[in-house]
């Protein structure tokens, strides 16, 4: 693929590595030892098998994965450092996705906070906890743009927007790595999956991705560009193919865009056994050709496969690969080990770290969970609950007391014994004041039997309000856990309908790894709080918001569809030649029987579900009510070197303190390529006391209006622009122009 040379260059954290150190090692290494540095093997079995120990001792393994316990890490590291010929330490990898022992909300939940500082702080805590147990390298952040909630790995993403994803992904990188990789508790970040994995067809994991060049450059690559600028030390390739070429063999992307255009000088690792899977894709005939394709494309290290180990030496001997290429790959591995300080300090002393699940870690986990909660409905201001007006509450639902499930997907080292569930937190909150009547109603989120409904109804009838905790278990999202039907599983919808029919106020809390289709459930609840999978401190966070000790402040990082049939649905879509128009829309029930076929006056909508989502990107209520007014632009036109200043007043017209995220969107009305109807460009988070008004200011320049243009170059185009300032992806509108 042709792409422009960008003007920036990547900067990486850690000490500068003397090249003579790396060169000296390379000069002493045998070819077998060099190839060994490019191998990452699974070390989850303990006691370690003989072939693993032998591989480390003979220098045929450079990195291990799935090992995260101080004694075990030191034990295998000692073999590498004290028993191998050159004493090169191992690089220990582990999936630390949204926490290590202290579990934070799933990344999609963290994205709902729209708070990069909090993402950075959570990653810092996760890194310190992981490093204390011998981990050097995590495979996060996942910055795949995710427009299909059927895809299980949307839980690991930051949602559908390139700007927000790039900002939060960069914050996570900074939290993991700090500004010095040799410093206390720093670990390597690994931005994944390069690139386009989130566009898997039909939301089926590992499926093909068909992404036009314009979308690839301007949407899917953009977060990676930002994260490379932030100094991500490593990247991981995607499993999927892109226009027929699997990412693990895609030299145009790896050597072209990543290394040449963006000047990335870090390490590229394959996903699990992805090099051998080039054969299954149908790109390669055998492991030899797969190893050649991956190495030539720019993959430095093979994760959990044997293609490099079996074939690189023969490929060099036959002249297919050069020894200089192998030396460059190995040098990247050695530099990272040097930057981490592993040559000087290969072993981990857990005593030098704070204990796991520290008070500070729990505080940040609580704050992260609070800020991730999104209030989607609050009819009659049923929330916050008023303690003085309640004698009893019913706590209903299979996820009210499910400590494992609230942690979410991709949790290897978290323990459910650390989790504080909503039921536990509510009982503590209500102790001595309010009676708590608990009945799960269903054994699990997938249960279909109604056997426990009666007990749940009894609990509600003797209570003043029903708090119903529904959603999906953690195993129903994540890698290889896509769902075609993303409504509430099991008999949960029936349970909610039965509870609502009893006539008591109903508050529903949804714990899930994705946006669920909840259209049928909204009429059966007075308030709805979306909690994602909120992690270790989910229960106290939810309870604090329900009782008004904290105000909800989350905003959706992804669009909620009305039905599965609307998918993919996302805010930054194209306008089309016949954009949808509510005034022209005809719904299926309005069509006359026997009507003649016509397309006159029609536009891009569904007869049965219209075109609008259930909830738009950026939406989220609070207990205050923020109104935006007096939108002002500093000038109607700016030049290429000028900044447009935008001012708007935000006023809390409600009776309680409210939190608001004021969002700035633009649209390039006419371009050499058709542009999205809206693009997020900035946002600011506010806390407003009742009656308070605050002026919010933004600035936009030509750089903020840039995109990859029709000729492949990167930059802005003169012309007219629409601008919105809003509390979701809809709001106050103005226009301005960019001059030539």
Q: What is the per-residue DSSP string for 80-114? A: HHHHSSS-PPPEEEE--SSBSSSBPPPHHHHHHTT
- pLDDT value at 2 more than 50: no
Torsion, Cα 189 193 199 204, to 10 degrees, reads: -100
CB-count exposure of residue 654 (10 Å: 0-12, 13-18, 19+): middle
pLDDT in tens, 288-303: 999 999 999 999 999 9
Over residues 256-268, mean pLDDT: 97
Q: How confident is the model at residue 386 (pLDDT cuts 50, 70, 90)?
A: very high
Asked whether the predicted pLDDT for residue 389 surpasses 60, the reply is yes
Cα dist from 476 to 200, 404, 439, whole Å: 18, 13, 23
Confidence of residue 551 (pLDDT cuts 50, 70, 90): very high
pLDDT beyond 60 at 14? no
Rounded average pLDDT over 542-571? 97
Query: Which of 539-548, 572-581, 729-738 shows the lowest mean pLDDT across its residues?
Result: 729-738
pLDDT of residue 3: 35
Residues of the chain with CATH 3.20.20.300: 19-352
Class of domain 626-738: mainly beta
pLDDT of residue 589: 87
What are the angstrom distances between the C-alpha of 538 and each of 155, 509, 549, 614? 16, 11, 15, 25
**Are the beta carbons of 483 and 496 closer than 8 angstroms?**
no
pLDDT-based confidence at residue 21 (cuts at 50, 70, 90): confident
Pairwise CA distance, residues 307 & 320, whole Å: 15
Residue 4 has pLDDT above 50, yes or no: no
Give residue for tokens 């952040």. Answer: 141
pLDDT at 19 over 80: no
Do residues 31 and 313 lie in contact, with contact meaning Cβ atoms separated by under 8 Å? Answer: yes
CATH number, domain 373-546, options 3.60.15.10, 3.40.50.300, 3.40.50.1700, 3.90.230.10: 3.40.50.1700
- In the chain, which segments carry CATH 2.60.40.10? 626-738
Look at residue 585 in the predicted model and tell me its pLDDT: 85
The pair of structure tokens assigned to 97 is: 């996705």
Residue 271 bears catalytic tag: yes
- pLDDT over 90 for what percent of the chain? 92
pLDDT (mean) for 98-103: 98
DSSP string, 553-596: ----SSPBPSSGGG-S--TT-B--SS---GGG---GGGSPTTPP
Helix%, strand%, coil% for the chain, nearest 5: 35, 20, 45
Distance CA 732, CA 740 (A): 27
Q: What is the pLDDT of residue 16?
A: 44
pLDDT tens readout for residues 163-188? 999 999 999 999 999 999 999 999 99
Numbered ranges of CATH 3.40.50.1700 in the chain: 373-546
Sheet holding 658-668, edge to edge: 637-638, 731-738, 719-726, 658-668, 679-688
pLDDT at 458: 98
Closest C-alpha among 411, 523, 396, 360 to residue 155 = 411
Type and span of the H or E element at 224:
helix 222-229
The beta-carbon contacts of 424-432 under 8 Å, at least 24 apart in sequence, are 424/539, 425/539, 425/540, 425/542, 425/543, 426/393, 426/395, 426/467, 426/539, 426/543, 426/546, 428/543, 429/543, 429/547, 430/393
Q: Which pTM value belongs to this model?
A: 0.96
**pLDDT of 18 over the 70 cut:** no
From 673, 706, 701, select the one nearest 4 (Cα to Cα): 706
DSSP 702: G
Q: What is the pLDDT of residue 728?
A: 82
Encode pLDDT of 446-468 as tens digits: 999 999 999 999 999 999 999 99
- Enter the CATH code of domain 19-352: 3.20.20.300
Cβ atoms of 264 and 185 closer than 8 Å: no
pLDDT band at residue 729 using 50, 70 and 90 as cut-offs: low
DSSP state of 335: H
Extract the tokens encoding 456.
Answer: 């749940």
Q: Which of 95, 161, 241, 271 is catalytic?
A: 271
Looking at every residue in the chain, the average pLDDT score rounds to 95
DSSP strand pairing (91-94 vs 137-138)? parallel
Return the structure tokens found at 188: 């390597």
Q: Is 249 helix (H, G, I), strand (E, B) or coil?
A: helix
Spell out the residues 6+ positions from residue 392 whose beta carbon is closer than 8 angstroms to its own: 434, 435, 436, 437, 462, 463, 464
DSSP-derived secondary structure for 710-730: TTS-EE---EEEEEEEESSSS
């Amino acid at each position: 693929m042709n792409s422009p040379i960008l003007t920036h260059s990547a900067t990486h954290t850690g000490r500068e590595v003397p090249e003579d150190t790396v060169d000296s090692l390379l000069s002493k290494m045998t070819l077998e030892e060099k190839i060994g540095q490019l191998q990452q093997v699974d070390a989850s079995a303990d006691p370690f098998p003989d072939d693993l120990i032998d591989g480390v001792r003979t220098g045929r393994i450079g990195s291990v994965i799935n090992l995260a316990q101080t004694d075990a890490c030191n034990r295998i590291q000692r073999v590498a450092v004290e028993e191998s010929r050159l004493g090169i330490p191992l690089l220990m990898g582990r999936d630390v996705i949204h926490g290590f022992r202290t579990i934070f909300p799933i990344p999609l939940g963290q994205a709902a906070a729209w708070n990069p500082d909090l993402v950075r702080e959570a990653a810092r805590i996760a890194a310190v906890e992981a490093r204390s147990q011998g981990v050097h390298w995590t495979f996060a952040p996942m910055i795949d743009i995710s427009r299909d909630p059927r895809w299980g790995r949307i839980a690991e993403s930051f949602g559908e927007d390139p700007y927000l994803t790039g900002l939060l992904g960069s914050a996570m990188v900074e939290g993991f790595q700090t500004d010095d990789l040799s410093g206390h508790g720093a670990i390597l970040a690994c931005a994944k999956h390069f690139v386009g994995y989130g566009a898997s067809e039909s939301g089926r994991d590992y499926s093909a991705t068909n992404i036009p060049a314009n979308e690839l450059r301007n949407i899917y690559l953009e977060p990676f560009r930002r994260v490379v600028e932030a100094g991500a030390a490593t990247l991981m390739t995607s499993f999927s193919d892109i226009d027929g070429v699997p990412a693990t063999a895609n030299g145009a992307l790896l050597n072209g865009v990543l290394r040449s255009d963006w000047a990335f000088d870090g390490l590229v690792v394959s996903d699990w056994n992805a090099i051998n899977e080039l054969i299954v894709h149908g790109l390669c005939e055998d492991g030899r050709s797969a190893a050649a394709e991956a190495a030539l494309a720019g993959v430095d290290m093979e994760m959990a496969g044997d293609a490099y180990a079996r074939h690189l030496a023969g490929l060099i001997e036959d002249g297919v690969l050069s020894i200089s290429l192998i030396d460059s790959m190995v040098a990247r591995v050695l530099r990272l080990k040097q930057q981490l300080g592993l040559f000087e300090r290969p072993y981990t002393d857990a005593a030098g770290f704070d204990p796991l699940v520290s008070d500070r870690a729990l505080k940040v986990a609580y704050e992260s969970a609070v800020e991730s909660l999104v209030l989607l409905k609050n009819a009659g201001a049923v929330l916050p609950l008023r303690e003085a007006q309640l004698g009893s509450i019913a706590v209903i639902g299979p996820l009210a007391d499910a400590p494992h499930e609230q942690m979410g997907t991709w949790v290897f080292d978290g323990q459910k014994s650390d989790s504080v569930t909503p039921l536990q937190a509510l009982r503590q909150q209500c102790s001595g004041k309010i009676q708590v009547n608990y009945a799960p109603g269903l054994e699990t989120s997938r249960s279909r039997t109604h056997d426990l409904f009666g007990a749940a109804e009894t609990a509600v009838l003797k209570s003043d309000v029903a708090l119903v905790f529904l959603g999906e278990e953690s195993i129903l999202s994540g890698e290889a856990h896509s769902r075609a039907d993303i409504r509430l599983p099991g008999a949960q919808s029936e349970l909610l309908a039965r509870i609502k029919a009893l006539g008591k106020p109903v508050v529903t809390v949804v714990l899930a790894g994705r946006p669920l289709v909840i259209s049928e459930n909204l009429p059966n609840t007075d308030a709805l709080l979306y909690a994602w999978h909120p992690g270790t401190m989910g229960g106290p966070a939810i309870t604090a918001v329900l009782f008004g000790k904290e105000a909800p402040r989350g905003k959706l990082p992804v669009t909620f569809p009305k039905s599965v049939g609307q998918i993919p649905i996302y805010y930054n879509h194209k306008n089309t030649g016949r954009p949808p128009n509510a005034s022209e829309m005809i719904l299926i029930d309005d069509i006359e029987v026997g009507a003649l076929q016509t397309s006159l006056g029609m536009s891009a909508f569904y007869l049965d579900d219209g075109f609008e989502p259930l909830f738009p990107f950026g939406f989220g209520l609070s207990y205050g009510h923020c109104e935006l007014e007096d939108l002002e632009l500093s000038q109607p036109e700016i030049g290429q070197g000028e900044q447009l200043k935008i001012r708007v007043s935000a006023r809390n017209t409600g009776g309680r303190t409210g939190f608001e995220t004021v969002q700035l969107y633009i649209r390039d009305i006419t371009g050499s390529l058709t542009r999205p109807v809206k693009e997020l460009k900035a946002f600011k988070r506010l806390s407003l006391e009742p009656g308070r008004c605050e002026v919010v200011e933004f600035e936009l320049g030509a750089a903020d209006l840039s995109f990859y243009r029709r000729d492949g170059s990167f930059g802005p185009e003169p012309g007219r622009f629409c601008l919105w300032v809003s509390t979701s992806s809809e709001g106050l509108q103005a226009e301005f122009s960019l001059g030539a």
